[in-house]
């Protein structure tokens, strides 16, 4: 239909279709390559130890340590705890959480969740393992 009206319209359509298909692929490839370079440059291939969280049944039973400082938090001030597929997120305040990966929790994630059930009210505990995001 349009081929009769403009010479080269078919070539233009094919060219634009190829560019439209390749552009996102090139963009994503460059992005993932940049992420790989960043990981390699900073030595993050195997992860990086950022902090240690020690939990106890004491009222101020949450102790967080990193290379330069330490902090203690009281159980009654915890914002909430969320279980997701491979870790537990312990929110100290609304916008700050400590990620506790299941595979490094001493005693396993179920023991941690039982401690959280004892120390936190039910409205602060959220099991999001089966939610599809």
Classify 65 in phi/psi space as left (phi over 0), alpha (psi -120 to 50) or beta. beta
What are the backbone angles phi and psi of residue 60, rounded to the nearest 5°?
-105, 50
Q: Are 16 and 73 in contact (CB under 8 A)?
A: no
Using DSSP, state whether 78 is helix, strand or coil. Answer: coil
Q: What is the pLDDT of residues 74-127, one digit of tens each?
A: 999 999 999 998 899 999 999 999 999 988 888 888 999 999 999 999 999 998
| pLDDT class of 42 with cuts at 50, 70, 90 | confident
Q: Are 55 and 64 in contact (CB under 8 A)?
A: no
Say which range, 8-17, 30-39, 75-84, has the weakest mean pLDDT.
Answer: 8-17
Please compute the mean of the pLDDT values over residues 65-82 and round it to a whole number: 91
Q: Which tokens hold the place of 30?
A: 């460059």
Angle at 43 between CA 39 and CA 99, to 5 degrees: 75
| pLDDT class of 2 with cuts at 50, 70, 90 | low
CA distances from residue 118 to 45, 59, 60, 75 in whole angstroms, order as listed = 36, 12, 14, 10
Sorted by where each begins, the domain ranges of the chain are: 1-46, 52-127
| pLDDT class of 3 with cuts at 50, 70, 90 | low
pLDDT for position 1: 53
pLDDT for position 4: 60
């Amino acid at each position: 239909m349009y081929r009769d009206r403009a010479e080269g319209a078919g070539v233009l359509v094919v060219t634009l279709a190829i560019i439209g298909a390749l552009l996102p692929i090139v963009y994503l490839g460059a992005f993932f390559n940049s992420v790989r370079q960043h990981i390699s440059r900073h030595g993050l291939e195997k992860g990086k130890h950022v902090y240690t969280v020690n939990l106890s049944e004491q009222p101020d039973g949450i102790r967080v340590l990193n290379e330069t400082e330490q902090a203690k938090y009281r159980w009654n001030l915890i914002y909430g705890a969320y279980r997701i597929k491979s870790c537990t997120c312990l929110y100290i305040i609304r916008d700050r959480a400590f990620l506790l990966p299941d595979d490094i929790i001493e005693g396993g994630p179920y023991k941690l969740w039982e401690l959280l059930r004892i120390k936190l009210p039910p409205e602060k505990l959220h099991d999001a393992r089966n939610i599809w995001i």
